[in-house]
Structure 1
Amino acid sequence: MASLLSMQCVASLRKSRGLVHLGTAVLGVKKRNYSRKEACPSEYLHQSVVPSMHYQKSLPRLPIPKLEDTMRRYLAAQRPLLDDDQFRTIEKLAQDFQSGVGKKLHEELVAQDKINKHTSYISGPWRDMYLSARESLVLNFNPFISFKLDPNTKYNDQLIRATNMVCSAVRFMKTLRAGLLEPEVFHLNPAKSDTDRFKKLIRWVPSSLSWYGAYMVNAIPQDMSQYLHFFNSTRIPKCGRDKLFTNEKGRHLLIMRKGNMYVFDIVDRDGNLVKPAEIQSHLQYILSDPTPAPTFPLGVLTSENRDVWAGLRERLIAAGNAEKLNLIDSAIFCLCLDDETMRDHIDISHNMLHGDGFNRWYDKSFSIILTKDGQAAINFEHSWGDGLAVLRFQNEIFKDTTEKPLVHPGSVAAAVDSASAVHRLDFRMNSELENGIIKAKEKFDSAVSTLTFGLVEFKKGGKNQIKKSKLSPDAITQLAFQMGFLRQHGQTVSTYELCSTAAFKHGRTEAIRPVTLHTKQCSHAFVCQPGQHSVEQLQAMLQECSKYHGQLIKEAAMGQGFGRHLFALRYLAISKGQALPGLYTSPANIPLQKNTITTSSLVSPTLGLMGFAPVVPDGFGIAYSVHNDWISCCVSSTPAGKIHEFIQCVHKSLEDIFTVLEGKTLR
């Protein structure tokens, strides 16, 4: 998996224009005084005073770091992972790169960036990286984010919740396309910037200058260009490189149940939301449809190798299925109605990340999955955008469905002819396609059978206690992962943490490399040298780790990391037909590039779970949240990772850290 969700978003301004420090996201949902009794149908979620894209033109551009800074940061990330001989090798390669071919590539990258001021230097190459990847989307790219259950349990009925989520999703889409969705802004001083007075003022500032107006009151507008591919979009497989398809004229929803596919309009000819009672009737019709699961369910093909799927899609078109495929591709989004009930968090994680392969269309920009017992999640394709937009959507949908639901327990579905309105898609098949589906299912089953999930639920402390010690909650949690792996395997390994660069025009993500000389020393002091350091010495080490980690976050969020810069230079060399420099191909580079621990973090009142697969067979994928008084992690691995042992080691590491924070001696 080349990239995961990017959820880091806590800002601190710098004197230079556009320099923003983005840390771990805490994407809250504003409380509104709505009640279920007051709820009434509306075409929009809200009507923002400030137009949705008001800040886009004036967003600062993502900077290209100086080459010497990139190489310095790169070597700093390499040092704790390499022995002296390996480091001398990589240091020499870095020096040669900086003074030779790297310098020329950097100059050309800067020149290209100057003539493409409408975008960022990473946007095109990063999307191309996704679309050119040939691996299956399942486990390699698509993550999931699950909703909490509705606090009013009666609204968790599958039909009721599905209807309300569909209606709220349409309302979100219409609010966005009408320019009425409130712009995504991080407010450093909400008392000044998140006010009606400021919004009424800033709306009259020209879009080309609006960012500066927000900057003056410590508000950080975020890039919203990714929202344009949120609805009516699909990744279509093509040999060598896929393409993104968007058709905003589509008015219908794609529904999957038991591997069968259905469509019906959720927007009428005038562009308005179809009556909720009619949507309820149509969904009820699908849920009660006795049609058995197809012998050869088409959805599993979207889990195939992209070139294989591209070839089979061409066969589907040749067999006379072009119109039906177009209905799938142009659907507003996909709703997956599962007949299963969820036993626990582990069951939810497996179902929402991959499911059975039949009742999914992984190519859609996003799918809302709803189980029999009302558990809900979003599974999304990654090429079009990152988790920041998805989490905003989830927050709005959860708030709208729980505070202003349009159908209720006991609501009577409309007396309409759902049999005429709902169309089940029947595909023309042949032996080649049937064999392709059989092989795809075999590959799918083999891949997901090796995946294991586990949970860390540390209840002895959280964000409040860490901050009381003047430490970074994110730094301490990342340190616990390193300590846990060291405790389990006796070594320090490469760790990958994502940071959003959405404060810049067409920004995507940057990688934070949390493993440092400070964390390596601290981990060894806690794990390998028990009793050899005083509590005060251990506390001082934690302070150093936190301080340096904070610097890494600031650099990444301000576009001053090294990962995306080196990626862009590599991409440029390949596009020019040049042989890759030794910096990229040296065996000494392998420890850093093997992301044994891949992590992403978010906190939201709407969030149930988040998950993704590890990127290497013996590694871990960790989605974590640092709450006020506890810490949770959804961990994925394969049998090679010995996940339960790792979870115990992480839990023990957190216990040790909090013991030291309390001023107590380790046992």
Structure 2
Amino acid sequence: MVQLPNLLFTLRKMEISQQGPQAGLPFPQQPWGDGAAGPPGNQGSSTVTQGPWFDMYLSARDSIVLNFNPFMSFNPDPKPDYNDQLTRATNLTMSAMRFMKSLRAGLLEPEVFHLNPAKSDTDAFKRVIRLVPSALAWYGAYMVNAYPLDMSQYFRLFNSTRLPKPGRDELFTNEKEKHLLVLRNGNFYVFDVLDQDGNILKAAEVHAHLKYILSDNSPTPEFPLAYLPTENRDTWAGLRQELLNNGNKEALGKVDSAVFCLCLDDFPITDLVHLSHTMLHGDGVNRWFDKSFNLIVAKDGNAAINFEHAWGDGVAVLRVFNDVFKDSTQTPAITPQAQPAPVDSSRVVQKLNFRLNDTLKAGITRAKEKFDSTMQTLTVDSIQFQRGGKEFLKKHKFSPDAVVQLSFQMAFLRQYGQTVATYESCSTAAFKHGRTETIRPASVFTKTCSEAFVRQSSQYSADQLKEMIAQCSKYHNQLTREAAMGQGFDRHLFALKYLAAAKGHKLPELYQDPAYGQINHNILSTSTLSSPAINIGGFAPVVPDGFGVGYGVHDDWIGCNVSSYPARDVREFLQCVNKSLGDIFNVLEGKPVRS
């Protein structure tokens, strides 16, 4: 008997083949996957354990900055005057709170994949399905090719923090707390954004409190506490215990339990490279990277979300990202001309003070030195290929995702003369607690095609090269389909390895084979995201000699945002990607490939 989730993805394959496998930025940072989320509606503090994926994340001892946390940047508000920092921060905060209230009240529209939106994504169908008993609603949706996706991660979006512990971290959630954490210039502020009855504070009051914080001239602390979460997790765990022992339990509790962290930066964004560095890691002073997410708003209104990855992946973050952008731009809580409420914010906004002894000061100093030296090694650059995008490629009956992935293979071959292990995320959210599976874009087909374009283009006609692209596209669609249906090999092999270790068995020979190590040394780590709300997104490489490749295929252009450490040359790689895309488009237009 065919299982319904598998049937879903068999049906979904036509859509996937045209648009790529992702619903956002599902897990770019490790080759083996994500953790399942805990139970929805969790009240009070919790440290729920949900199996091997959580163990993998929470046991990792490397700094979460660059190694795990990615970012997604919002497009500007289409109304230019609404991009004032205070106005935009207020509207984004209010929209995030509306999302949280809808989620917790059970009123948030479910995440649904519509194969036939003309039938299922309509007000009429939604009215009907509400009348169907919950036990039968799934089948009612199934009859019109609408499939609900897993949303069990969503409760960790708010009031959640990753707590450092020796050997293995914990996830903490306290939905009872009502306050927002605001960071500005390395200083910590909190104020309630919900009243005693759980209602969202009036926008004019949030406006007033944020204006008060922006007017505070407090200098950056001599020892900025925010450097500590950028440390090795065991080091940070020890320093956190020192903070607790030194009388900071109440202040740390406010940080941990805050609804989310709003970061107000005191400078404008100069260009896309500056944007990526700012939103991916910043200067270490004005972020709390352990929070479920940081909502960052720069002086000129540029905004982004940087999120911690242990609790969930980009599917959940993209949902709140899209909803917050839409709500804040279409139904903003305040206008640029709005006046803040006549309240005494000095009595409402609490500035958190931390008691630091010599051990803590020395720890912050060391963390800053390590952070600064590491960030200096990261290079980020981007391109926008303007000759065409999704519409052009679909017109020629090629998968846009497959074509862009092929361009990465061609680019690396052109730059370094070889092909390498490549990772691409694929969402499996149609399964209960589904997270991601790996697509392996590097194949015998992409290798043959890449060598034909890069080394032997004069030996082939445009039609022959086009046929090679078609083979790559067809096989990539198959890989995507298999990954989405839970038929990829990466998660299965990881689970078997985990079980062997858990039962005390000797590690099977497969895992000791150099080939297994090589295929998991992902030099090209890639992830795609596409949304009208997103300006750009990105992440760091997963290995020292790798590239972190974020990309999006839009209707009429293709964007790539790539990072590397000194072992690789980002600018040259992007030039090779641009050349590869140009060659592919030439072939599809019947033009010769230029050397």
One of 322, 341, 351 as aligned partner of 2:278: 351
Give, in whole Å, the separation in 1 of the partners of 2:471 and 2:50.
34
In the alignment, structure 1 residue 172 sits paired with structure 2 residue 127? no
Point out the more displaced range, 347-356 or 445-454.
445-454
In the alignment, structure 1 residue 609 sits paired with structure 2 residue 539? no
Q: Is the 8 A contact 2:511 2:517 kept in 1?
A: no
Give, in whole Å, the separation in 2 of the partners of 1:522 and 1:594.
23
**Cα pair distance change 1:621/1:123, threshold 3 Å:** farther
Give, in whole Å, the separation in 1 of the partners of 2:576 and 2:244.
52
1:458-607 equivalence runs, <5 A: 458-607=385-534
Give, in whole Å, the separation in 2 of the partners of 1:19 and 1:27.
17
Alpha-carbon distance, 1:18 to partner? 6.6
Q: Which amino acid aligns with 2:124?
A: R
One of 212, 227, 242 as aligned partner of 1:315: 242
TM-score between the two structures when normalised by the length of structure 1:
0.83
Give, in whole Å, the separation in 2 of the partners of 1:604 and 1:632.
12
Q: Which amino acid aligns with 1:348?
A: L
Point out the more displaced range, 547-556 or 575-584.
575-584
Alpha-carbon distance, 1:324 to partner? 0.7
1:118 corresponding residue in structure 2: none
1:53-92 equivalence runs, <5 A: none
Alpha-carbon distance, 1:646 to partner? 0.6
Give, in whole Å, the separation in 1 of the partners of 2:471 and 2:10.
24
TM-score between the two structures when normalised by the length of structure 2:
0.93
1:225 corresponding residue in structure 2: 152
Equivalenced residue count is: 565
SS for the counterpart of 1:284 is helix
Alpha-carbon distance, 1:21 to partner? 3.9
SS for the counterpart of 1:531 is helix
Give, in whole Å, the separation in 1 of the partners of 2:392 and 2:384.
16
2:42 corresponding residue in structure 1: none
Give, in whole Å, the separation in 2 of the partners of 1:218 and 1:169.
30
SS for the counterpart of 1:461 is coil
Give, in whole Å, the separation in 1 of the partners of 2:546 and 2:365.
29
Alpha-carbon distance, 1:201 to partner? 2.1
Alpha-carbon distance, 1:15 to partner? 7.8
Give, in whole Å, the separation in 1 of the partners of 2:337 and 2:369.
43
Give, in whole Å, the separation in 2 of the partners of 1:407 and 1:591.
53
Q: Which amino acid aligns with 1:574?
A: A
Q: Is the 8 A contact 2:69 2:309 kept in 1?
A: yes
Give, in whole Å, the separation in 1 of the partners of 2:141 and 2:488.
25
One of 416, 419, 435 as aligned partner of 2:362: 435
Deviations 1:574-609 (A, max 9, x none): 112223212112223232111000011011111011
Q: Is the 8 A contact 1:349 1:611 kept in 2?
A: yes
Q: Is the 8 A contact 2:438 2:483 kept in 1?
A: yes
One of 58, 82, 91 as aligned partner of 1:131: 58
2:578 corresponding residue in structure 1: 651
Alpha-carbon distance, 1:306 to partner? 0.5
Give, in whole Å, the separation in 1 of the partners of 2:481 and 2:143.
20
In the alignment, structure 1 residue 627 sits paired with structure 2 residue 554? yes
Alpha-carbon distance, 1:491 to partner? 0.1
Alpha-carbon distance, 1:399 to partner? 0.9
Q: Which amino acid aligns with 2:220?
A: A
1:21-170 equivalence runs, <5 A: 21=12, 23=16, 24=20, 124-170=51-97
Alpha-carbon distance, 1:26 to partner? 7.8
One of 297, 316, 323 as aligned partner of 1:389: 316
SS for the counterpart of 1:511 is strand
1:5 corresponding residue in structure 2: none
1:59 corresponding residue in structure 2: none
2:260 corresponding residue in structure 1: 333
2:300 corresponding residue in structure 1: 373
1:213-292 equivalence runs, <5 A: 213-292=140-219
Give, in whole Å, the separation in 1 of the partners of 2:461 and 2:5.
37
1:618 corresponding residue in structure 2: 545
Identity over aligned pairs, percent: 62
Give, in whole Å, the separation in 1 of the partners of 2:272 and 2:409.
24
Segments of structure 1 that go 5 or more residues without pairing to the other structure are: 1-12, 29-76, 78-112, 114-121
Q: Is the 8 A contact 1:145 1:611 kept in 2?
A: yes
Q: Which amino acid aligns with 2:297?
A: L
SS for the counterpart of 1:424 is strand
Q: Is the 8 A contact 1:20 1:558 kept in 2?
A: no
Deviations 1:242-300 (A, max 9, x none): 11000001100000001100000000001111111111111111111111110111111
Q: Is the 8 A contact 2:71 2:306 kept in 1?
A: yes
SS for the counterpart of 1:209 is helix
Deviations 1:488-541 (A, max 9, x none): 000000110000000111001001000111111000000011201111111111
Alpha-carbon distance, 1:415 to partner? 1.2
Q: Is the 8 A contact 2:269 2:302 kept in 1?
A: yes
Q: Is the 8 A contact 2:9 2:484 kept in 1?
A: no
Q: Which amino acid aligns with 1:433?
A: L
Deviations 1:103-129 (A, max 9, x none): xxxxxxxxxx9xxxxxxxx96211221
Q: Is the 8 A contact 1:26 1:604 kept in 2?
A: no
1:455 corresponding residue in structure 2: 382
Point out the more displaced range, 583-592 or 184-193.
583-592
SS for the counterpart of 1:323 is helix
**Cα pair distance change 1:500/1:608, threshold 3 Å:** same
SS for the counterpart of 1:603 is coil
Give, in whole Å, the separation in 2 of the partners of 1:653 and 1:376.
32
Q: Is the 8 A contact 1:148 1:606 kept in 2?
A: yes
SS for the counterpart of 2:556 is coil
Q: Is the 8 A contact 2:227 2:285 kept in 1?
A: yes
**Cα pair distance change 1:157/1:393, threshold 3 Å:** same
Q: Is the 8 A contact 1:624 1:632 kept in 2?
A: yes
Q: Is the 8 A contact 1:25 1:602 kept in 2?
A: no
Point out the more displaced range, 475-484 or 574-583.
574-583
One of 563, 568, 575 as aligned partner of 1:641: 568
Point out the more displaced range, 582-591 or 521-530.
582-591
**Cα pair distance change 1:506/1:285, threshold 3 Å:** same
CA RMSD of aligned residues (A): 1.8
2:336 corresponding residue in structure 1: 409
Give, in whole Å, the separation in 1 of the partners of 2:338 and 2:6.
56
